[in-house]
Amino acid sequence: MSRLPALGLCLLLWAPAGLWAQSPAGHARPKSEKLREFGLFQPEVGIIDVPTAGVLDYGSFGIRTRFFSGGGVLNWLSFGVFQRLSIGASFHVDRFIGDDSPVDLARPELQLKFRFFDGDRLLPALAAGFDGQGYFYNRSTRRFSEKGKGLYLAASQEILTPGLMTHYGLNISDFDSDDVYGFLGLSYNIQDKASLLAEFDNLRRSDQNRLNAGLRIYATPFLSLDLGVREIGKSEFSSGQHRKSERIVQFRYVGNF
């Protein structure tokens, strides 16, 4: 009987520890976040075009395949090579699906991301990175009509209600002009079954920004399917080249070595 108070105290201390996990930043996270640390749920490293502050876990790899207009395919392959650091490459192929020819492969592009701050209750998580992958490759100029992010700083933080995340940051796409652009994204996770996605990208001039939206469906903790629409309401690039809204389908898979 004399041991009952000590036993009760141990139970009180153990119960919160079973329901909450401590993040690297030292703040409590719900049990679902604890499961993510053991690979049952994978970190979100991007919305549609907008990066987040998330990186792949050490020893894991990510494969992303996007199908877009004109039978094009865009593939990403990334690796968690160190704690907090991901490195990868992307490959853009035009007219890969269908009977149009010729099939054209653009040069591979590099991606790097380093998460240097995990955030806390008041401050967002922060990551710096480089992404050279653009969109709408122009064969005549050998440039992308939509430039890649280039060098960027991304922040991610949960706001207002559990599962609602905001992702925002700054990037420099062209080091010759030194123009600084902004981006803003929102994702709302619905019980780890699906996520609603929206982003406002390339924020600087009205003729260059773009609105994208989509739905992410989690088939398994490691495999997800994205259904999205890019370039909502746009008609032409700043160069005068025609552009229109496009539907995309994207598969994401994350595994461990």
Domains within the chain, CATH numbers bracketed: 1-38 (no CATH), 43-256 (2.40.160.40)
pLDDT tens readout for residues 66-123: 987 767 788 899 999 888 999 999 987 766 665 666 666 777 889 999 999 998 888 9
Q: What is the C-alpha separation between 70 and 75, in angstroms, rounded?
A: 16
In this structure, the number of other CB atoms found within 10 A of the CB of residue 68 comes to 20
- Both structure tokens of 144: 């992308």
Q: Categorise residue 238: left if φ over 0, alpha if ψ from -120 to 50, beta otherwise.
A: alpha
> 226 with 245: CB under 8 angstroms?
no
Q: What are the beta bridge partners of residue 214?
A: 197, 228
pLDDT of residue 79: 93
pLDDT of residue 234: 65
> 80 with 56: CB under 8 angstroms?
yes
The pTM score is 0.75
pLDDT tens readout for residues 22-66: 333 333 334 344 334 434 457 789 999 999 999 998 889 999 999
State yes or no: pLDDT of 253 exceeds 60.
yes
Cα angle for residues 28, 31, 36 (degrees, 5° grid): 100
Q: What is the C-alpha separation between 68 and 66, in angstroms, rounded?
A: 6
> 133 with 90: CB under 8 angstroms?
yes
State percent of the chain over pLDDT 90. 39
pLDDT of residue 39: 40
More confident residue, 209 or 17: 209
According to the per-residue pLDDT averaged within each range, which of 11-15, 67-71, 87-91, 253-257 is highest? 87-91
More confident residue, 136 or 196: 196
The pLDDT-based confidence of 147 (bands split at 50, 70, 90) is confident
The pLDDT-based confidence of 175 (bands split at 50, 70, 90) is confident
pLDDT of residue 134: 79
More confident residue, 52 or 15: 52
Q: What is the C-alpha separation between 91 and 72, in angstroms, rounded?
A: 11
pLDDT of residue 74: 87
CA-nearest of 82, 168, 155, 86 to 118 is: 155
What rounded mean pLDDT belongs to the chain?
78
